[in-house]
Homo-oligomer: A and B are copies of this chain.
Amino acid sequence: MTQQLIVIGGVAAGMSAAARARRINPNLTVFVYEQGPHISYGACGLPYLIAGDIADYRALIARTPEQMARQGVTVYLHHQVTTLDPVARTVTVRDRQAGRTFEQRYDALVIATGASPVLPPLPGLELPGVFALRSLEEGLALQRFIAAHQPRRAIILGGGYIGVEMAETFRRLGLAVQMIIRSGQVLRPVLDDDVRALVEQELTRQGVEIIADEPVAFEGRDRLERVVTRDGVYPGDIALLSIGVRPNVTLAQAAGVTLGPTGAIATDDHMRTNLPAVYAAGDCAEAFHIVSGRPAYVPLGSTANKQGRVAGTNAAGGEATFGGIVGTTVLRAFDLAVARTGLTTAQAQALGYTVQTTLIEATNLAHYFPGATPIHVKLVVDDATGRLLGGQIVGGEGVAKRIDVLATALHHRLTVADLQQLDLSYAPPFAPVWDPLLVAANVAAK
């Protein structure tokens, strides 16, 4: 019987695990060690905090340590777990503020150490004005820098989600924005080229310049003044790195936790690692990809919460499983919503599928309804069986929830013929009589 649960990391997966474990077993002692100053915050809201949409950063915080304490979960901030001994079932914890180190015993352990931005080892990386954006601390620092220095030219390095979202934020704050991306392509691995073209068109329309290049140094006296690249020099007074993230696995790896092929922690469907009574969840862990049938690393708050809930349930003696992901994501890029799920054409082909693809344009509402905007739906289909392998949707309103229909279809291996049959909601303020998903399915079925 588990008596004492330790959770390492208190953001999404960790807090979800801790809260859930106490609900499953109200007699459980639950300690959460978080190395930073905040827990349980919506990191995905940071671009909108910086843009000024959210007045107070505290709105991003779902639960405070005090609220958790009332639920029976004891949270330690500024506490870093430095070693894990799976034989003795203890962790070594460093209290960063008090400067002391202590050991704590566990009956069950959840590793929820998250991920960190990839930082290229370039000269000048430490200059004020060079930012990554992952934690609330980094977000607040970026916000303070903007307030203090009123930068006018932002340079975004990399074309990932946070890069695109921050391009919007910087533009809305009145900055010039250049995105320097090695491939010259935003959201490269997650979208097909034809869908990406729609996104890049919107970015360009909104004044974002996309440049195929890569940084070699950050330069400036007291703070950033320019980014030197392979091919040139870009003056800029704020830079944001969006090259990707990597799972924080140093602690786990040192303790003998097995990593998967993605480099993140491997777990089974109960979120168990290879070590007894040790679970992992969230951005430090990989997930089974239901469409590819292989482990994948898609760090997302939604998955972290689900995995944390399953880890917490099982760690507390309950029973829950996490079936995996289908790779659904959505982001806002100015006036566009950009959503995808499953495999891209290239990903499907790499797995050996012969694919047939369909890209249609329709309107999100009845074409005659005020505010109707174009919506583009792409389906990636296994030519042999008609099974849906992936979908990408770009448009105004109504994108995010339409991708969820395709995600549901992927979870249950639906074919294009199945999609054609769906009794989807229709009323002029919400959808055309042939929903864009049905239009795409009808075209794909030909």
A426's contact among B44, B430, B433, by CB below 8 Å, is which? B44
Structural contact, B428 and A48, CB atoms closer than 8 A: yes
User: How far does the alpha carbon of A405 sit from the alpha carbon of B423 in the complex, in Å?
Assistant: 10
Offer 15 A-B interface pairs, CB within 8 angstroms, sorted by A.
A44-B433, A48-B428, A306-B438, A324-B421, A328-B425, A329-B425, A329-B426, A330-B431, A332-B427, A332-B429, A339-B425, A397-B397, A401-B404, A401-B425, A410-B423
A330/B425 contact (C-beta < 8 A), A53-B369, A302-B433, A434-B302 known: yes
Residue A266 interfacial (CB < 8 Å): no
Residue A411 interfacial (CB < 8 Å): yes
Closest Cβ neighbor of A20 among chain B residues: B442
Structural contact, A411 and B431, CB atoms closer than 8 A: no
User: How far does the alpha carbon of A146 sit from the alpha carbon of B132 in the complex, in Å?
Assistant: 60
Residue A341 interfacial (CB < 8 Å): yes
Residue A368 interfacial (CB < 8 Å): yes
Min Cβ gap A309→B in Å is 8
Closest Cβ neighbor of A428 among chain B residues: B45
Residue A435 interfacial (CB < 8 Å): yes
A48's contact among B407, B425, B429, by CB below 8 Å, is which? B429
User: How far does the alpha carbon of A45 sit from the alpha carbon of B409 in the complex, in Å?
Assistant: 30
Q: Which residues of B contact A399 (CB under 8 A)?
A: 430
Q: Which residues of B contact A433 (CB under 8 A)?
A: 12, 42, 44, 301-302, 305
Interface-centre pick from A54, A306, A418 (highest chain B CB count, 10 A): A306
Residue A327 interfacial (CB < 8 Å): yes
Q: Which residues of B contact A59 (CB under 8 A)?
A: 367-368
Residue A414 interfacial (CB < 8 Å): yes
Structural contact, A302 and B424, CB atoms closer than 8 A: yes
Closest Cβ neighbor of A304 among chain B residues: B433
User: How far does the alpha carbon of A369 sit from the alpha carbon of B420 in the complex, in Å?
Assistant: 34
- 8 Å CB interface, A297-314 against B: 300-303, 305-306, 309
User: How far does the alpha carbon of A426 sit from the alpha carbon of B402 in the complex, in Å?
Assistant: 12
Min Cβ gap A340→B in Å is 9
User: How far does the alpha carbon of A341 sit from the alpha carbon of B426 in the complex, in Å?
Assistant: 12
Residue A370 interfacial (CB < 8 Å): yes
Closest Cβ neighbor of A431 among chain B residues: B400
- 8 Å CB interface, A212-269 against B: none
Structural contact, A401 and B405, CB atoms closer than 8 A: yes
User: How far does the alpha carbon of A370 sit from the alpha carbon of B333 in the complex, in Å?
Assistant: 16
- 8 Å CB interface, A3-41 against B: 12
Structural contact, A305 and B405, CB atoms closer than 8 A: no
User: How far does the alpha carbon of A418 sit from the alpha carbon of B323 in the complex, in Å?
Assistant: 9
Structural contact, A54 and B369, CB atoms closer than 8 A: yes
Structural contact, A42 and B430, CB atoms closer than 8 A: no
Residue A125 interfacial (CB < 8 Å): no
Structural contact, A45 and B366, CB atoms closer than 8 A: yes
Q: Mark A50-76, 1 if CB is under 8 A from B, else 0.
A: 000110000110000000000000000
Q: Which residues of B contact A429 (CB under 8 A)?
A: 48, 332, 337
